[in-house]
C-alpha cells in the first residue's frame, strides 16, 4: 500500500469528463489494488480487489465500521444520539435493531402502503394543478423541489401520522 498519493485537485482531475471510476482504475493499475488518496483534509482508502475488500469488510470490519467523530455529531446529533451520526458501539447496534424491527419491517411497510399511495396520488394531483395553471399552455415546474416536497410530506405523514402539504 502506498502512502497517500498526491493526485491534484479532484475537480481538475474530473475536468476532462472522464468518469471517476476510470481515473481510479488507472491509478489502481499504476499503484496496486490498495492505496490512499487525499480528499480535502481527509485521507481516503481506495480498495479495488475482491480479496482486499473481503479483508476490509469481513476480517477487519470493526476497524472500518465506525464513523469518524465530528462536530456535527456532537451538536446536531446530541452527542452521537442520532442514528445516522452515532459511532459504532452498543447504542448504535440497539438503535439499528430497533429501526429494522420496528420501522423497516415488512409488516410495518405493508401497514403504511396506503399512506405512500395516497401521498403519490396527492402529489400527482398537485403537479397537475401546477401544470394547468399556466395561461400560455406551458408551465415550468421545478421537479427537484416537487420531489423534495413529496418526500417530506411522505415522511411527515408516515412518522407522526398527520399530513403536511407543501406544493
pLDDT (tens digit, 9 = 90+) per residue, 111-152? Answer: 889 989 998 999 999 888 888 876 666 778 889 998 998 888
* Nearest-angstrom CA–CA distance, 158 and 96: 19
Beta bridge partners of 35: 2, 46
pTM of structure = 0.51
Counting residues of the chain whose pLDDT is more than 70, the rounded percentage is 85
Residue in the structure block whose three cell numbers are 403519490: 120
- Cell matching residue 93: 447496534
* pLDDT for res 73: 80
**Mean per-residue pLDDT, 154-163:** 76
The overall average pLDDT reported for the chain is 82
Cell of 24: 481510479
**pLDDT digits 0-9 by tens, 78-121:** 887 887 778 888 888 898 898 888 888 898 889 889 989 998 99
Amino acid at each position: 500500500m502506498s502512502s497517500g498519493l498526491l493526485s491534484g485537485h479532484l475537480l481538475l482531475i474530473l475536468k476532462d469528463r472522464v468518469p471517476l471510476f476510470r481515473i481510479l482504475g488507472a491509478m489502481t493499475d499504476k499503484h496496486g489494488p490498495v492505496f490512499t488518496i487525499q480528499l480535502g483534509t481527509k485521507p481516503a482508502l481506495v480498495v479495488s480487489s475482491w480479496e482486499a475488500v473481503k479483508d476490509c469488510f469481513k476480517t477487519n470490519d470493526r476497524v472500518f465500521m465506525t464513523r469518524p467523530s465530528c462536530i456535527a455529531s456532537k451538536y446536531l446529533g446530541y452527542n452521537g444520539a442520532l442514528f445516522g451520526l452515532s459511532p459504532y458501539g452498543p447504542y448504535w447496534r440497539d438503535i439499528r435493531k430497533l429501526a429494522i424491527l420496528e420501522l423497516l419491517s415488512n409488516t410495518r411497510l405493508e401497514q403504511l402502503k396506503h399512506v405512500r399511495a395516497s401521498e403519490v396520488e396527492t402529489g400527482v394531483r398537485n403537479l397537475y394543478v401546477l401544470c394547468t395553471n399556466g395561461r400560455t399552455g406551458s408551465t415550468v415546474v421545478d421537479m427537484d423541489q416537487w420531489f423534495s416536497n413529496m418526500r417530506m410530506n411522505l415522511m411527515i405523514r408516515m412518522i407522526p401520522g398527520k399530513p403536511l402539504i407543501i406544493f
